[in-house]
Structure 1
Amino acid sequence: MKFYTKSYLSDLSESRRKGTKTFSSALNENKNRTHFDIFLSHSFKDKKYIAGLYLELTSKGYSVYVDWIIDPHFQRDNVTKDTVNKIRLRMKQSKSLIYATSENASNSKWMPWELGFMDGDKGRCAILPITDYENDTFKGQEFLSVYPLVTKGSNIYYDSDLNIQLSTFSSKEMKSWMNF
């Protein structure tokens, strides 16, 4: 299993390019969407990694919802009922939730709520650890162990889809897991 690393995602974020996909082209494709493949749950403190992950996922053909990218008008320090309703709507408009976890995730008030809501609504949730090294082991908060892990694709010859690690010995390509 190979995880996404902080350095890889940070480099992607800084370059603003993955293959032929640029951050601005990905943004233009997703800005006016009303349905998404992935709701990307994350800590805002991981913004530089999330920008890289957004680019990685969109370069693989996924439509991705990230609140500060798609709905930049949200005020993080002034949460209202309208904000909560909009986030709820965006989760309902998404096929799945990817929980991008790092050491900052355990301090997030939103992430566990988003995971619980989406798990109850659609049940299609997976954990994507952001680690220091590709081959790190992942041991997150205890409740995360009930969900599959998202790892890098395993084909070394081409940029393959992500893997969903269902158990120690079983995985699927993400598109198959999402029922594309």
Structure 2
Amino acid sequence: MAFFTKEQAKAAARRSENMLDQVAGLESYSDERFDVFLSHSMLDQDLVVGVAMLLKEQGYSVYIDWVEDEELDREHVDKETAERLRQRMRNCSSLIYIATDRSGQSKWMPWELGYFDGYKDGGVAILPLVDTVNSGFDGQEYLGLYPLVNQVNQRLYVEDASKVHSDFWAFVNDPSR
């Protein structure tokens, strides 16, 4: 199993210098659908842009809260913020939890993971960003409940605890959810 490295994400972010300009400011709040909701720590913005680019290069639409909903005030989170995120998650086919050494510091990531898992059973996967290609992943204990996103020859797969691989496209587009 090969996880994505932080350097791969940073390289993809460099390729996407104008990605934020392309998607920022779209006024499509309630009805726009996305393949992937990226749950992430704000401390990892550079890596998040890279992961989004890697997914977009493979044809997936990606929701990032501070890109699509830049008007949300992250300093004063309220019920409206939470409702906006719930609506966005309901309009996404899957949630990818970007696991880094900083993700444990996020107060919102566990909330997003729990909400999405309760709303769309089977629609959550963990994407570890590691330091080297051969690095293992030991995340927070509860993350072991979910399959992991990995890559083989630049194709994305989701691997469950029993080491069964499924194609990422099939995971995102699972008709049973």
d(CA) in 2 for partners of 1:85 and 1:52? 27
1:109 paired residue number: 107
3-state SS in 2 of match to 1:167: coil
- Percent of aligned pairs with the same residue? 37
Amino acid at match of 1:60: Q
Distance in 1 separating the partners of 2:3 and 2:83 = 33
Task: Name the aligned partner's letter for residue 64 of structure 1.
Answer: V
Q: Which digits, 9 at most, give the CA deviation of each residue in 1:50-93, with x for residues without a partner? A: 00111111111111110011111111111121111100100011
Q: Kindly tell me: are residues 135 and 26 of structure 1, through their superposed partners in 2, closer, same or farther at Cα, counting changes over 3 Å?
A: farther
Amino acid at match of 2:34: F
Write out the 4+ residue segments of structure 1 that deviate beyond 3 Å after TM superposition. Answer: 30-33
* Pair 1:66–1:24, CA change in 2 (3 A): closer
The equivalent residue for 1:144 is 143
Question: For structure 2, which runs of at least 5 residues remain unmatched after alignment?
Answer: none
Contact 2:35 2:94 in 1 (8 A): yes
Q: Provide the residue aligned with 1:85 in structure 2.
A: 83
Shift of 1:7: 1.1
Q: Residues 42-81 of structure 1: matches in 2 within 5 Å?
A: 42-81=40-79
The structural deviation recorded for 1:26 is 6.0
**Structure 1 counterpart of 2:99, one-letter code:** T
1:125 matches 2:124: yes
Contact 2:93 2:173 in 1 (8 A): no
Q: What amino acid is the match of 1:90?
A: R
User: Paired residue for 2:165, among 161, 171, 174?
Assistant: 171
Structure 1 spans left out of the alignment, 5+ residues: none
Partner secondary structure for residue 76 of structure 1: coil
Give 1:168 shift. 4.6
**Partner AA of 1:169 in structure 2:** K
Q: TM-score, normalised by structure 2?
A: 0.89
1:13 and 1:52 in contact (8 A); partners too: yes
Q: Are the equivalent residues in 2 in contact too, given 1:26–1:58 (CA < 8 A)?
A: no
Equivalent position amino acid for 1:5 in 2: T
**Structure 1 match to 2:5:** 5
1:61, 1:68 → 2: CA distance? 21
CA RMSD of aligned residues (A): 1.9
Question: Aligned partners of 1:168, 1:36: CA distance in 2, in Å?
Answer: 28
2:52 is aligned with what amino acid?
Y
